[in-house]
Amino acid sequence: MESFFLCLKFKILLIPAAIFAPGATLAFFAAATAYFSARSSHYMRLYCDALSFDKRMGAYFEAVKGNLHLGGLSDQIAASLSDFKSRAQSFETLAEVFAIYAVIFAIVTLAFRSADRKSLVNNAFFISAAFLFIGLTSPMLTFQASKTITFNLKDISKTLPDSEIINLGETVFKYESKGVAGTVSSLFSTGRISGIIPGILIVFFSVVFPVVKLAAGFLSHNGFLNESRARAVLALGKWSMADVFIVAVLLSFLALDAQDLTKASVGIGFYFFSAYWMISTAAGHFAAEAPRTEKGVK
């Protein structure tokens, strides 16, 4: 699968698709980026779960109880770990490839497929919507708490006949890969007010508000609203930092769990949500200025 999406034939197929169906092409890029990001996180979670302390210790004690050869069992675990990690890396590569396709397509559309100011703003709104989708559905922050553990079995179980130094290798204590959608789902699943209220706020400021903002800007720019459309867009623009602020709080909340043994990284979702905010803010500004320009000309 990975080789097909990276081969020259697929890239050639993208050219007519981008020319004759630009909207569908960008939507495909956005959906593919979100899908492959989710698959990568899924397999990375399986990989880290297999490296958890409970799984590692359980495997060793099962081997001791059944008089099995520890090396053979370790080889079996290593094969599963290798499969999980290779799949996670493969899907991550595909997500990055389609993210790059989406960015290149957006740049080309804004630079060469915008005949006038109106089409430029409309294209910006559509690109913002696609980037918003990727930002909401893809991981924004990933962190992993792990440590290499070595211990003596005699220290854990006094019934063992011989002491043996066991090297568990890298052991994962916690792994999280969260975006807006995943975090909201986790908060609502708690069933507690302390989780539901933050979930509702995140949905409002990170999902509902951005969608309303894009829709109002697009309708205002294309004359589907009344004379106060410019004021409506400007009023929404005053709140334009609210969605970014909520996501920043979300990332800060997840990062609080990061300690000395934690490796954290910013995901694709963060970059695309940030790109959505910048493009949509610029588009909203041009959409609001258009009526003033027309009045000045008249």
Strands 165-178, 141-152: parallel, antiparallel or unpaired by DSSP? antiparallel
Reference 227, options 291, 297, 298; nearest CA is 291
> H or E segment at 19?
helix 8-20
Quick check: 105 and 18 in contact, CB under 8 A? yes
Dist CA 67 CA 61 (whole Å): 10
Q: What is the pLDDT along the chain (298 residues), one digit of tens a residue?
A: 666 676 667 777 777 877 788 888 999 999 999 999 999 999 999 988 888 877 777 766 666 555 544 444 456 677 788 889 899 999 999 999 999 999 999 998 888 887 788 888 899 999 999 999 999 899 888 888 887 777 666 665 555 555 566 666 678 888 888 888 888 888 888 888 888 898 888 888 788 888 888 887 888 778 776 656 656 655 665 565 555 656 665 666 566 555 667 777 888 988 898 889 889 888 877 776 655 555 554 4
| CB-count exposure of residue 63 (10 Å: 0-12, 13-18, 19+) | middle
Which residue matches tokens 């954290």? 264
Residue 83 in tokens: 């499969």
Dist CA 260 CA 176 (whole Å): 16
Reference 286, options 132, 128, 122; nearest CA is 122
The pTM of this model reads: 0.81
Give the full edge-to-edge strand order of the sheet including 262-266.
165-178, 141-152, 262-266
Which residue matches tokens 């703003």? 121
